[in-house]
Amino acid sequence: MEILGYVLVNPDKVERAINGVVGPKGALMGGVGEKASDSAKIAEYDRLGGLITKDGKKLEIGCFYDFAKKQARKKPEVKFVFWVERKGKAKKVLVDEGEEIPVEVRAAQLLKEQEELDEE
């Protein structure tokens, strides 16, 4: 499902974010509802830990939901997550939306894409 230009990858979590879960006696509990705003839906999905992507790039959990304040963010803080191998360990690199992706991260992406093509 796509909301506000972001792809909500997990359909089960989309369902739970919007409609909730079945509780005691079969009644639905939680969820923001079908009539909720798109920003409320994506914030609830984010709260549930659902994978969000934009242009094929993964977003950090918590871009739309503030876990410290336990509420939806008034303004999203979109950060892309990249994993780069450094000295034998995977390192997490966060890049704010709108910032240029560091050349090292882009090089790692290109290498990964090439390895995937080689495997085919």
* DSSP secondary structure letters along 24-78: GGG-EE----TTS-HHHHHHHHHHTT--EEETTEEBPTTSSEETTTTEE-SS---
Our count of domains for the chain comes to: 2
Residues 99 and 69 in one domain: no
Residues 99 and 67 in one domain: no
What phi-psi label fits residue 48: left (phi over 0), alpha (psi between -120 and 50 degrees) or beta?
alpha
Q: Which domain holds residue 9?
A: 2-54+63-73
- pTM of this prediction? 0.84
Residues 12 and 69 in one domain: yes
* Per-residue model confidence as pLDDT tens digits over 11-56: 999 999 999 998 888 888 889 999 999 999 999 999 999 999 999 8
Residues 46 and 87 in one domain: no
Residues 69 and 15 in one domain: yes
